[in-house]
Amino acid sequence: MKKLNILLAASLGFAAFVAHADVANAVKLEKKYALFAKEANPEYSGPSAVDGKFFFNRKIKLANGKEAACASCHTQNPADEGKHIVTNKPIKPLSPMVNYKRFSDVDKVEEQFTLHCNDIIGSDCTAAEKANYIAYLLTEKTPSVKK
């Protein structure tokens, strides 16, 4: 009986941990960016996963001649593990649906957006682009089947 209790307590504890590991923060962030986007442009019609997907896969050429898309490193399926195109190091999945640590901390998200947007499009992204981006990532739930 005592063993069972311990097991129950442990599984409850684990359940609590798992319950924490969700995408609530990513959804919150998506909504927040959408609010900012509407503030900037009243015609913005809410986060669009389609626009986000287009943005994710679009290759952009910078003034310094470098060219890449988000998908260059994160692959065309952000639920998959990525590969850094400069260092060839593996990158953990970007989609918060697969990797709950992504898009959980607002400061980190803002910092990483600024750095990565500067790398890829040469300036920070707009709130609309960020909202669309997270909206798209939230739709990518299934890693590709490994061959």
Residues that bind other proteins (CB under 8 A): 66, 73, 84, 86-87, 89-90, 92, 101, 115-116, 118-119
Residue closer to other proteins (CB basis): 47 or 82: 82
**Which two tokens mark 40?**
């900037």
Residue closer to other proteins (CB basis): 1 or 86: 86
**In what helix (H) or strand (E) does residue 61 lie, and over which residues does it extend?**
strand 60-61
Q: How far is the CB of 129 from other proteins (least distance, A)?
A: 18
Residue closer to other proteins (CB basis): 89 or 146: 89
Q: How far is the CB of 60 from other proteins (least distance, A)?
A: 13
* 59-75 exposure pattern, b = at least 16 Cβ within 10 A, e = fewer: eeeeeeeeebbbbbbbb
Query: How far is 33 from 127, CA to CA, in rounded Å?
Result: 5
**Which two tokens mark 45?**
């019609």
Residue closer to other proteins (CB basis): 44 or 102: 102
Q: How far is the CB of 69 from other proteins (least distance, A)?
A: 13
The answer to whether 23 and 100 have CB atoms below 8 angstroms apart is: yes
Q: How far is the CB of 34 from other proteins (least distance, A)?
A: 27
